[in-house]
Chains A and B, each alone.
Chain A
């Protein structure tokens, strides 16, 4: 299974404090920026971004499963959807 690799040119930062009250899906928790593209991330997406470098999709599912109260297949689909948007913008590649 291919490994996810960060594009080293991508800059990212947290927009909220880690200590802020837990945000909803709509809150912009962080942003990714590279050249002409920017992507705003909610807390879930930001967490994936922070841990995905060098991991496979399955490894991500295993590490995130304990944190979410959803079934494994839904989580896998959610993660994959987000990874697809990252890869479309060139923020990650697969190796």
Chain B
């Protein structure tokens, strides 16, 4: 299963715009200044993607709700048989909008929340009142019958508050709490020293997060970081080894540029002019991501088969070589031990 080469991605993370009403310190897309695709071009691209066999689209941005045609784009996507979800900061989702999103085919909406403490979240996002609006958005979405999740990028302001984040997620009635690893792209890179944890701190965080994952019922705590293989915590059901980027999923930017994931700034084609299946099959970069080679401490690590050197985006951003060990990795497990 891990080695099958699919004819097209299963899912696409699609940043349909770059503009945002927030100013987050870890934003990976704020520095992106290309023009967004027009409505007509975007709809034609969605048709292309559905034809290629893609199952689902997760819209992101920027803040996707700042596109006035978002509902139309979503309704069109679901009419093509695509499963539609999005990540939003929640600011614009009131009761009416939640109902409209449901009608437009959204099956799942994830809201980004960085801290259980309103003041901390608001300061981090640069907008007073944003925490309260994010929680209200979750309530409206749930009432409208949309599956909800909370996404939290783990960094220095929240890594020691797992229990509190879990309690907030349970109170908000979400089905999933996503702990995203800190990727060091865009502003995340500029603010890395202030925000990122040390490898040993990552170890402590993941130990605690895994314990919470096992003990908390009624909430799916999702950890998308391959280095948790070091703690023997990769789910048996994990679909592929290492990162999913370029194996199951692909990223499309607001101007149509395709990149392996939102955190790897290497353009491998453009959805307007290129054939998705062709790019997916022939891209050298994707090929290298699918066939990583162990270097340094990964070469002797017994977890390599599961971990594949960890997060490719992070290794590339911080070391310049995607095959290098993930800089968050706190150790290595010697083969044969």
Contact = CB atoms under 8 A, between A and B. Distances in A.
Interface of A: 11, 13-16, 28, 31, 33, 36-38, 40
B7 interface: yes
Interface of B: 1, 4, 6-7, 10, 53, 55-56, 83, 235, 237, 239, 248
Nearest to B83: A11
Given A15-B7, A28-B4, A31-B6, A37 B55 contact: no
Contacts of A31: 4, 6, 10
B237 A13 contact: no
Contacts of A36: 235, 237, 239
Nearest to B220: A36
Given A31-B6, A33-B10, A38 B53 contact: no
A38 B55 CA distance: 12
B99 to A, nearest CB: 22
Nearest to A12: B55
A11 B55 contact: yes
A23 to B, nearest CB: 13
Contacts of B53: 13-14
A33 B55 contact: yes
26 contacts: A11-B55, A11-B56, A11-B83, A13-B53, A13-B55, A14-B53, A15-B6, A15-B7, A16-B7, A28-B4, A31-B4, A31-B6, A31-B10, A33-B10, A33-B55, A36-B235, A36-B237, A36-B239, A37-B237, A37-B239, A38-B1, A38-B10, A38-B239, A38-B248, A40-B1, A40-B4
Contacts of A13: 53, 55
A8 to B, nearest CB: 12
B80 to A, nearest CB: 13
A74 B53 CA distance: 34
Nearest to A28: B4
Nearest to B11: A33
Contacts of B237: 36-37
Given A36-B237, A38-B10, A38-B248, 14 more contacts: A11-B55, A11-B56, A13-B53, A15-B6, A31-B4, A31-B6, A31-B10, A33-B10, A36-B235, A36-B239, A37-B237, A38-B1, A38-B239, A40-B4
Contacts of B55: 11, 13, 33
Nearest to B240: A38
B237 to A, nearest CB: 5
A89 to B, nearest CB: 9
B306 to A, nearest CB: 16
Nearest to A38: B239
Q: Ordered nearest first, which 9 A-B pairs have the shortest CB separation?
A: A11-B55, A13-B53, A38-B239, A28-B4, A15-B7, A36-B237, A40-B4, A33-B10, A37-B237
Nearest to A15: B7
Contacts of A38: 1, 10, 239, 248
Contacts of A28: 4
A15 B55 CA distance: 13
A47 to B, nearest CB: 18
A79 to B, nearest CB: 21
Nearest to B238: A36
A88 to B, nearest CB: 12
Contacts of B6: 15, 31
Contacts of B248: 38
A71 B123 CA distance: 70
A81 B99 CA distance: 43
Nearest to B8: A13
Nearest to B54: A13
A37 to B, nearest CB: 6
A37 B235 CA distance: 11
